[in-house]
């Protein structure tokens, strides 16, 4: 592996650790401010993001010629992480629209039960494409050639079919709800609450649009795999770290920049006056 590849892997690890630190600081806070649906969803989705980053490193930087189980495990976790982050960012985008749409701009408009059910749904849907991959790892009996061929074919069919549906749904959902949120935000009268919501809309939009780039990328990868466009597939595989990095780290950077409370949790001292989320 080249020095550049190792440098990229080390940079990925450093950024992932910093992101994990942010998520841990938010999740362990005793402040009720961080118990809002947005932060719960942000922590859960960020965890899937980190999983996709960490699992990609053994997938792309190491070759396991004698035992494919390590690669398959990494691939399974990567699939779980990519799906979980995509579904989570869709939920976050929908939640922002619902907040802005209400006259009171109440952040806690979803009960704890609803949020927990959404987290279960997020995991359940994410597990659909990953389960066949993990199943192939834990098979007790060595499969016959025919059995292995069927398992591989079904695994790829489930994974690719789910990916196509998920990415098309994500692209449509996020474009629609981002535009609706923007229109609704412009209709609000000027106030401190509107200023706070504008900051949150920027954070959510940055999160949504950066992941939209990844969704289009992943959808293209699926298409190249279906039609065996090998050269294009190899090129897209090379730029994955850049696309995934954009989708993974845009949201935390924007959140730290716009939220004094988050900077405080990260022990950053900043004199810039910023408005946080309105506690309606």
Over residues 45-71, the pLDDT tens digits come to 999 999 999 998 888 766 665 567 788
pTM, whole model, 2 decimals?
0.84
Average pLDDT over residues 143-149: 43
**Residue 253 to residue 148: CA distance in whole angstroms:** 44
**What φ, ψ does residue 239 adopt, rounded to 5°?**
-90, 5
Whether the CB-CB separation of 80 and 130 falls below 8 Å is answered with yes
Q: Of the ranges 142-146, 194-198, 224-228, 259-263, which is most confident?
A: 259-263
Architecture of domain 3-265 in CATH? Up-down Bundle (1.20)
Listed residue (55, 58, 61) closest to 82, CA to CA: 55
**Residue 249 to residue 53: CA distance in whole angstroms:** 11
Split at pLDDT 50, 70, 90, the class of 10 is confident
What is the reported pLDDT for 66? 54
Q: Where are the domains of the chain?
A: 3-265
Q: How confident is the model over 249-280, as pLDDT tens digits?
A: 999 999 999 888 999 888 755 444 444 544 44
Alpha carbon of residue 74 to chain centroid: 17
Whether the CB-CB separation of 48 and 79 falls below 8 Å is answered with no
Q: How confident is the model over 80-131, as pLDDT tens digits?
A: 999 999 999 999 999 999 999 887 788 888 999 999 999 999 999 999 988 8
Of the given ranges (57-61, 75-79, 84-88, 198-202), which has the lowest mean pLDDT? Answer: 57-61
Listed residue (117, 153, 112, 108) closest to 278, CA to CA: 108
């Amino acid at each position: 592996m080249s020095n550049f590849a190792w440098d990229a892997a080390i940079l990925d690890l450093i950024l992932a650790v910093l992101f994990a630190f942010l998520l841990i600081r938010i999740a362990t806070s005793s402040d009720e401010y961080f118990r809002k649906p947005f932060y719960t969803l942000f922590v859960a989705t960020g965890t899937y993001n980190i999983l996709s980053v960490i699992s990609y490193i053994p997938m792309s930087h190491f070759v396991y010629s004698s035992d494919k189980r390590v690669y398959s495990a990494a691939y399974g976790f990567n699939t779980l992480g990519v799906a979980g982050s995509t579904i989570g960012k869709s939920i976050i985008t929908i939640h922002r629209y619902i907040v802005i749409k209400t006259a009171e701009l109440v952040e806690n408009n979803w009960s704890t039960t609803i949020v927990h059910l959404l987290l279960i749904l997020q995991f359940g849907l994410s597990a659909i494409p990953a389960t066949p991959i993990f199943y192939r790892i834990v098979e007790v009996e060595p499969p016959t050639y025919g059995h292995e061929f069927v398992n591989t074919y079904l695994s790829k069919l489930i994974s690719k079919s789910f990916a196509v549906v998920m990415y098309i749904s994500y692209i449509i959902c996020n474009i629609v709800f981002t535009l609706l949120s923007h229109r609704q935000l412009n209709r609000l009268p000027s106030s401190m609450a509107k200023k706070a919501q504008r900051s949150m809309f920027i954070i959510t939009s940055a999160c949504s649009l950066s992941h939209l780039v990844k969704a289009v990328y992943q959808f293209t990868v699926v298409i190249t795999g279906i039609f065996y466009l090998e050269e294009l597939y190899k090129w897209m595989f090379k730029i994955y770290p850049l696309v995934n990095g954009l989708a993974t780290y845009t949201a935390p950077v924007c959140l730290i920049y716009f939220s004094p409370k988050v900077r405080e949790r990260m022990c950053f001292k900043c004199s810039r006056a910023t408005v946080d989320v309105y506690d309606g």
